[in-house]
Amino acid sequence: MGSSTPRDELAELLTRPALEVGPRLLGSVFRVGDVAVRLTEVEAYHGQGQDPGSHAHRGRTPRTESMFAEGGTLYVYLSYGIHRCVNIVCGPEGWASGLLLRAGEVVEGVDVARSRRPSARSDAELAKGPGRLGSALGIGLDDDGSRLGDGRSSLELPVAPIGQVLTGPRVGVSGRAGTDEFPWRFTLAGEPSVSTWRPAVRRG
């Protein structure tokens, strides 16, 4: 997929706020092992105490410890006890902001991704949604706290214009944090891998 992004350039970008980094990650190629995904959808989550939709909103916990690491760290968590979702931490150490990788197009290792996602009806569905993306990439909870470029994951920024970037409410986030007041979901226009927006469902 071409030459990798220089480590210094990537590190400098990931020290910036998630809202600034989010659009820059669209079109990037995120690789874990043998599978690479071109990112088409990400969601920004602000730092501690500033975003009611963030896992770090109420402070540091054992689950969210990786969110408080320096930019470029991976934060992996289980959604509904099943889906492994991966975030890239942004900002300085202790800030606890990041970007949820919501969707993308598998551009390398398609056969491997298909073996992990046999229920996908098309290649566009292999990584359509954060849980599916995590499964296609083979993300595990042992990837939580790892750093881009230091292990089996890497990120290559786009070198050419990527097309129109759209913004909108975050998917599945409850309360006002999932409304137009927080247009912190960034997507590439016209991409079939982008997930469908739906409001959060309150569960008892």
> Which residues, 6+ apart, have CB-to-CB distance to 78 below 8 Å?
84, 85, 141
CATH number for position 118: 3.10.300.10
Q: What digits encode the pLDDT tens for the residues 76-127?
A: 999 877 889 999 999 999 989 999 999 999 999 999 999 999 999 999 999 9
**DSSP secondary-structure letter at 170?**
P
> Which residues, 6+ apart, have CB-to-CB distance to 35 below 8 Å?
106, 108, 109, 112, 113, 136, 137, 138
Model confidence, pTM: 0.90
Domain-located, residue 180: no
Asked if 59 and 53 touch (Cβ cutoff 8 Å), the reply is: no
DSSP per residue, 123-147: GGGTTBSHHHHHHHHT--GGGTT-B
Asked if 104 and 41 touch (Cβ cutoff 8 Å), the reply is: yes
Q: 148: domain range? A: 7-163
Regions of the chain where pLDDT drops below 70: 1-4, 48, 161, 174, 176-178, 197-204
Into how many domains does the chain fold? 1
109's tokens = 């290792």
Domain-located, residue 92: yes
